Amino acid sequence: MAIEHEVETTGLVGWIDRRFPMTSTWKKHVSEYYAPKNFNFWYFFGSLALLVLVNQIVTGIFLTMNYKPDATLAFSSVEYIMREVPWGWLIRYMHSTGASMFFVVVYLHMFRGLMYGSYRKPRELVWVFGCAIFLCLMAEAFFGYLLPWGQMSFWGAQVIVNLFSAIPLIGPDLSLWIRGDYVVSDVTLNRFFAFHVIAIPLVLIGLVVAHLVALHEVGSNNPDGIEIKAKKGPDGIPLDGIPFHPYYSVHDFMGVSVFLMIFAAIIFFAPEMGGYFLEANNFIPANPLQTPQEIAPVWYFTAFYAMLRATTDPFKIVLMIIIALLGLVALVRARGKWKLGLPLLAVLVIVAMAFTESKFWGVVVMGGAVISLFFLPWLDRSPVKSIRYRPFFHKVFYGIFVLAFLTLGFLGTKPPSPASTLIAQICALIYFAFFLGMPVWTRLGTFKQPPERVRFKPH
């Protein structure tokens, strides 16, 4: 028996409902959307990401009222917002701190999905939309980082855009097209402003809506990795489900309250967070004639930046050897159309690596680190979803993966050295080994039998 969504038929609400599905949409996606009853604190971060998105949009609108996307006026307009506009300093810090907090909650949200198998069938599309949101956030943060027109903004954009010039054949033209000029200039600032304020936010909002619609179509996952829709009562309601509102709206309100206290503490007492959220060099006007001693991205890019920086000529040889070994394994184990296809692809990649510079392959490694996330639903072959019921060594692998990622993030904030480069190379190999080895290691070991019904203890 299907759940019926009754709607109002009288008064103003009834008048609207006869012309727009207001009440039925509210019931379908909020008050009669049945979520598993065993959500824990890891499930705060999805709603927190939505909260920070709203914060970024609202504060961004207020900032554009006084910001000037002009190379001669951009820095002074930010100073004007900070010093002269009533409460402008608060709006600016809410936006800059919000950018970092956005990545904090998104990283934790993705980690929860990784732990509990939220990317597994039937939620593959939910995960893919989520990864696309992450990719859009990276683009949005990159375009927005240039806008203050400080030293680190200017030179960071110069370095990142120049990376595209390493792409064979089309690289120089592509980097010229992105900048709109031969150097980072007023033209670059204007087009980055357009992308940051209009283009990327529209795509981002569309992806967030698609992410939520896909989630509500298949239902939420839970720490036990059990599909609650499999067991329904005679009324069509999942036996282990409870309405999102009021239960989880109140639950999320507690998470929002704690988050806002932390958010406010950072804004009022440590908006720069020791240079991780706002670098000291970005309080200096951009100077094309003076390069900062160290050019590094904001902390949420540093793990991928460390991979880029670690891709040296010796590391490229290591990658060629690994690809050759993978090609041999494919030749021995692959069947059907993949029998010769994968080894041939490995040979082509090795030949391409031999004749192209390591800078280009650093870009490939950095991009591949993000793109790998999209394929997670098809790489994981475990018979269970949740980490709770996986063998102990699976948990060790997850821990090593997280440690390697955090190490890369830390190394990306530091000046390069032979020791740090070697550690970054090892961590990059661990990162990719985690994904490439998934079809094998996720099948191994003794798995616990998940319960038939979700386990829940009231607090």
pLDDT in tens, 294-350: 888 899 999 999 999 999 999 999 999 998 888 888 777 766 666 677 788 888 888
| Domain-wise residue ranges, the chain | 27-295, 296-446
Q: How far, in Å, CA of 104 to CA of 134, rounded?
A: 12
Least-confidence region, from 26-35, 46-55, 134-143, 333-342: 333-342
* Position 136 pLDDT exceeds 70: yes
CATH number, domain 27-295, options 3.90.180.10, 1.20.810.10, 1.10.3720.10, 3.40.50.970: 1.20.810.10
- pLDDT of amino acid 2: 47
Residue type, 48: L
Do 27-295 and 296-446 share a fold?
Answer: yes
- Give the residue from 130, 174, 160 showing the smallest Cα distance to 301: 160
The two structure tokens encoding residue 2: 């299907």
- Percent above pLDDT 90 for the chain: 66
Spell out the SS3 assignment of 41-79: HHHHHHHHHHHHHHHHHHHHHHHHCCCCCCCCCHHHHHH
Answering whether pTM is above 0.85, one says: yes
Classify domain 296-446 by CATH architecture: Up-down Bundle (1.20)
- pLDDT of amino acid 337: 62
Q: What separation in angstroms does the CA of 140 have from each of 75, 119, 143, 418?
A: 19, 24, 5, 33
Confidence band, pLDDT 50/70/90 cuts, at residue 86: very high
- pLDDT of amino acid 339: 63
Q: Mean per-residue pLDDT for 57-86?
A: 96
Q: Mean per-residue pLDDT for 135-163?
A: 93
Least-confidence region, from 81-85, 257-261, 333-337, 388-392: 333-337
Confidence band, pLDDT 50/70/90 cuts, at residue 285: very high
